[in-house]
Structure 1
Amino acid sequence: MVGPFIFFDHIGPVDLAKGLPREADVRPHPHIGLSTVTYLFAGEIMHRDSTGIEQAIRPGEINWMTAGGGITHSERFERARREGGPLHGIQSWVALPEEDEETTPSFAHHEGDDLPVHQDRGLWLRLLAGEAFGLRSSVRTHSPLFYVHAALQPGARLELPRQYAERAVYLVSGAVEVGGRAIDPLRMAVFADGDETVIEAQAPSVLMLLGGHPVGDRFIEWNFVSSSRQRIEQAKADWRAGRMRLPDLDNSEFIPLPPDPTRASASAEAH
């Protein structure tokens, strides 16, 4: 984990063909104990969830879904199905503090002035959540953190915020160095407290900056995050038994619970 960030998925970049089959969509599935954070560089995703929300997300916007005690949602590529087009983005998961793990599920969409922008001498950045670089995002979070989309021109420099105990940078594209050491594209560099964190671009570069204060150890299995292994087992049982409500506007199908990884491993060894 880096602060409360427990999962980080780079989506694409990919060009989706017009007429994309529905099987390519992410069907309804559950989450507990976390917030999913979706941010796009290109394309569009249609979100529907069990709180009744239907919300498209487009480049430069944030969908922040807090699962708390349990939520289900789907992510569908309906615009690409109609028109074709690119898809490129990041989805991260933020673990909730122990006292908020069972909070009421909620969803928030943010764009425009909610996500402040700063530009200076070859540096452009958008603050997606938290506080950093003298900016404050309107996104509500449950623990101290920062999450930033940054673009640097060659020679531009940027230092990660010092007020957070855990910090990282993910290089989406381009070439950057920290303390004379290169960060490989599509890799995340994680820094210990007190480490040198001045990033210098060697080429036009796009980065995601993230971090925050730790929230403690977590278990993670499939789409579930919790400080309690027993709570994850309960969530699995609830999903298997159909006790978690599907999105009102997308309830005709769902992703079934995958096989238990330990049981699957034992079965494979037996054969």
Structure 2
Amino acid sequence: MRVCRYIFVSAILIHGGYMESLYMEKLYRLFPWPENPYEEEGRARYQEALEYMARVVEHGWIRERVGDRDRISIVEYCSGTGIGGIALARILREKYGVAIDLLLIDLRRSALEIAKRFSREELGFEVDTLVADVTKDIDLGKKFDIALLWGLTTPHFSPWNYIKFLSNVARSLSDKGIYIYEEGDRMYSILLLRGYKDVVSESSRNRIVLTIHRDYSPLTGYITRTIYDFIGHEYTDLKLYFWGLADSMAFTWIFFRDIDFIPLRSSYSGVAVAVDPRRDIRYEDYLYAKPRVLEKEDL
């Protein structure tokens, strides 16, 4: 299985994914996102994830579908260092006594290497990993019980790419599968409460960067901001789509028969839980197609 997986990964990287992988490696090297569980801020995020997952797994849909099982399989998309997936696996095992299979998918090999080490320490086994673009056609060779998207990741997706991503999520799940994703309403928290800023200082303990507005595409909805690192004097562009709760959940509902929201940090920031992927959708149509309106646009 591992040999076949590495061959598959190489094929993905050769056919266009290599540049995306390099871009994401640079982006997360410059942007101060606390994801390393071996650093103080990353460890704090992991502890927070454990607390949140303990509340999430109390949801009735999860209790019904996990409580009577001996083994649960989880795939985490855009996993980074696996903070979300490892936290969910640990809480499910402690709460329901189930064995866990966990696959982490990300474009960054460096993050997945950290995840493998961290999973050995936290779970007692090394998780499976896959380097892949989650908006491209991915055949995982099996159906999973739970798909996870953690870390407030949806801004990486335009509405067009979120449809492609959801196609992969839905078809990777069993008929009674569950999709869990962390989400916040940026229409409220950013555009209404703070107001959109042309220049924003983003900082952590060890890094200070500026993000500067550069462009907006009305066809994709992407806002492009340039990240500039004052210490290393490096820069790169970051594309963002400011999802609200209503729109991301409505898109998700198209692919799942029901959806619910669990407020965690506030009434507008928490976790969405969707169940029962629809089987009357031709997922491949969305994964392979590009509408004419976007022929000259980069999704």
**Bucket of the pairwise TM-score, normalised by the shorter protein:** under 0.3
Q: Per residue, is there more strand in 1 or in 2?
A: 1
Q: Per residue, is there more helix in 1 or in 2?
A: 2
TM-score by length of 1: 0.27
TM-score by length of 2: 0.25
